[in-house]
Amino acid sequence: MGNIRVVHYLNQFFAGIGGEDRADHRPEVREGVVGPGMAIKAGFKGQADIVATVICGDSYFGENTDEAKAEILEMIKKYEPDLLIAGPAFNAGRYGFACGTVADMVQKELNIPAITGMYEENPGVEMFRKSVYIISTKNSAAGMRDAVAKLVPLALKLVRGEEIGSAEEEGYIERGLRKNYFSDIRGSERAVDMLVKKLKGEEYETEYPMPAFDRVPPNPPIKDLSKATIGLVTSGGIVPKGNPDHIESSSASKYGKYDISAFDDLTAQTHETAHGGYDPVYANEDPDRVLPVDILRDLEKEGIIGKLHGYFYTTVGNGTAVASAKKFAEEFSQELKADGVDAVILTST
């Protein structure tokens, strides 16, 4: 075959159109390479051409999925591609949903291979891992070079119809599909060999990894709420007006600690949400809807709780890696304990 014809799918951010303020951008198509397509094109080393780039805002796609799919499919069809590349989406959840949806649609409707890339915690992984090859990426665009290095070789194999190796060999996220193969060593021998290695403390690789469940035992209940200090923590992104610490609207790299000792009520004049991925109108109208300072002040006055802690901790849960969230909590939970907080109310969106 001649040069492989590729259509690339991007969201509004990676296309350089804008951030959350432009997430309602309608589908459009541009000839040739846009944004990260440059790195992918370089990775192909002349073996493939990105003939067009389809762009759509994440909010538009999520809120008008059927219409967006129909528009995008017609745009892609026109270029008669041999392959579709979506993203990579890294840890952006709505972008992951869009990339997975477009890749899955193209495979089914146009009968051509498609590939995307996501961080393992992107919600799009669980939705599409069985139907689409998803390259395992780092959790931000800083991992673009690593993503392209894995994406390009697998994309070429897919479009050429070559045999695809294991997830570990090829760099894609395990698909949860079982495949029969012939082994020189029967199962009982392999099982005993793994068991012996495990007992000796040696490295071994299971043929069927089991899911890991993060179980957190609950603490004992508060004996007397009327003497307890209650803290507020939120992943709903409530921050002082202007977001002074510039907490990101998605994939947050930080959290904030803010003084509420002088507040009986949060208002649109004093606080807002930094959170992307949900309609912020009602949270911005009355931030107490996400961080209930007003209700807790009432409970404090009524003597139902001892007092509300003078500071709240906040971050954005949208696309934020579990590892980052754990790190944040490990830090501020020590401060809460040192400040004599007896219990925490954790609110979301």
Q: Does 230 share its domain with 102? A: no
Q: Does 164 share its domain with 229? A: no
Q: Does 35 share its domain with 150? A: yes
Q: How many domains does the chain have?
A: 2
Measured distance CA(272)–CA(289) in Å, rounded = 11
**What is the reported pTM?**
0.66
Q: Does 34 share its domain with 123? A: yes
Q: Does 58 share its domain with 162? A: yes
For residue 224, give both structure tokens.
């007397």
Secondary structure of 23-81 in HEC code, one letter for each residue: CCCCCEEEECCCCCHHHHHHHHCCCEEEEEEEEECHHHHHHCHHHHHHHHHHHHHCCCC
In a domain, 209, yes or no: no
Q: Does 231 share its domain with 164? A: no
Q: Does 233 share its domain with 325? A: yes
Domain extent, residue 329, equals 225-347
Which is nearest to 8 in space by CA: 42, 32, 43, 44? 32
DSSP state string for 66-121 = HHHHHHHHHHHHTT--SEEEEEEEET-HHHHHHHHHHHHHHHHHH---EEEEEETT
pLDDT per residue, tens digit, the chain (349 aa), is: 458 999 999 999 999 999 888 989 999 999 999 999 999 999 999 999 999 999 999 989 988 999 999 999 999 999 999 999 999 999 888 899 999 999 999 999 999 999 999 999 888 898 899 999 999 999 888 999 999 999 999 999 999 999 998 888 899 998 866 667 678 898 899 999 999 999 999 998 887 777 777 788 888 999 999 999 999 999 999 999 999 998 988 778 899 999 999 999 999 999 999 998 778 999 999 999 999 999 999 999 999 999 999 999 999 988 777 778 889 999 999 999 999 999 999 999 8
Q: Domain end: 170, 192, 217, which one?
A: 170
Q: Does 44 share its domain with 152? A: yes
